Amino acid sequence: MITCFDIGGSAIKCAVATAGGRIGELHRVPTPTHDFAAFTHSMQALIDSGGPSRGVAISIAGVVDPADGRIKCANIPCIDGRALASDLSSAFGLPVWIINDADSFALAEAQAGAGRGHTNVFGLILGTGVGGGLVIGGRLIGGPGGFAGEWGHGPVAAQFAGTPPQAIPRFQCGCGQAGCLDTVGGARGLERLHVALNETQKDSREIIAAWQAGDADAERTIACFIDLLSGPLAMLVNTIGASILPVGGGLANSAPLIARLDEAVRAAILRKTDAPIIVPGQAGTEPGLIGAAWLGLEKLGITHG
């Protein structure tokens, strides 16, 4: 049995996992964001309440440097810059493994969601921004480094999109570059596109609702959004050979949007298929905990039960 955590800036979620990735009762406490002692105390209390544990597996919205194990996690300042796995392992007296949230989603989908039965699975995140994780043969590629699957960064976004072609600004990205797919690919990107194309501010849900209602401005925005993402995603599919791309994040809640993206990507890939390859995730409501569970069980060599 291992203890699994899904940690965000607002809450620490915890559950016990047993062989086969089965998740037990969910527990939730507020995240102490500025006090590392309180942070570890909260986790220790949850570990103790679950009974004897063979290790701790954590899904978190952060990136771990594979060279020194230090985490970059802006929304939890008390852990930012720490060698978190090492520090927590010393505090708990247990092995600790950390996986970023996109990788956790990909692993959960590969093992318990839409990716079951597929050899190569790319978990696609369309949330505030974009991200992803790659699982091949049931194993996560890139491990805790958090860099494999980060298809949203690099100055490759097209400068024209849609029909007829619309000029797309090269928006500045938080990673320091300009023209990254992350700036146009998630919910905030959809909103930026709408302002640039229509000089009107709407949130992503309003844009999608207007598009489904037949609004011409929203259609222009959605058409450019799909055009900007479908080409890079088709190249990704051709490169890694993924046969399924489960989608998580807020934009995955729009089935028509995901279906339109799927249609555009399938039209652009080399392998022609009538079966959808970009589909909403199916792992359940707690993919972070499920992905962490499978990571920990794999590390202990007890992934099957």
Spell out the SS3 assignment of the chain: CEEEEEECCCEEEEEEEECCCEECCCEEEECCCCCHHHHHHHHHHHHHHCCCCCCEEEEECCEECCCCCEEECCCCCCCCCCEHHHHHHHHHCCCEEEEEHHHHHHHHHHHHCCCCCCCEEEEEEECCCEEEEEEECCEEECHHHCCCCCCCCCCCCCCEECCCCEECCCCECCCCCECCCHHHHCHHHHHHHHHHHHCCCCCHHHHHHHHHCCCHHHHHHHHHHHHHHHHHHHHHHHHHCCCEEEEECHHHHCHHHHHHHHHHHHHHCCCCCCCCCEEECCCCCCHHHHHHHHHHHHHHCCCCC
In a domain, 25, yes or no: yes
Domain co-membership, 183 together with 238: yes
For residues 204 and 290, membership in a common domain is answered with: no
**165 and 201 share a domain?**
yes
The string of pLDDT tens digits covering residues 221-277 is 999 999 999 999 999 999 999 999 999 999 999 999 999 999 999 999 999 999 999
Q: What is the extent of the structural domain holding 221? A: 117-280
Does residue 47 form part of some domain? yes
How does pLDDT run along the chain (305 residues), one tens digit per residue?
899 999 988 899 999 988 777 888 999 999 999 999 999 999 999 999 988 899 999 999 878 887 788 998 878 999 999 999 999 999 999 999 999 889 999 999 998 899 999 999 999 999 988 989 999 988 888 755 456 788 998 899 999 999 999 999 999 988 889 999 999 999 999 999 999 999 999 999 999 999 999 999 999 999 999 999 999 999 999 999 999 999 999 999 999 999 999 999 999 999 999 999 999 999 888 888 999 998 888 888 875 54
**Are both 124 and 255 inside the same structural domain?**
yes
Q: Considering the domain boundaries, does residue 165 fall inside one? A: yes
Same domain, 169 and 239: yes
Specify the number of domains making up the chain. Answer: 2
In this structure, are 123 and 247 located in the same domain?
yes
Residues 205 and 144 in one domain: yes
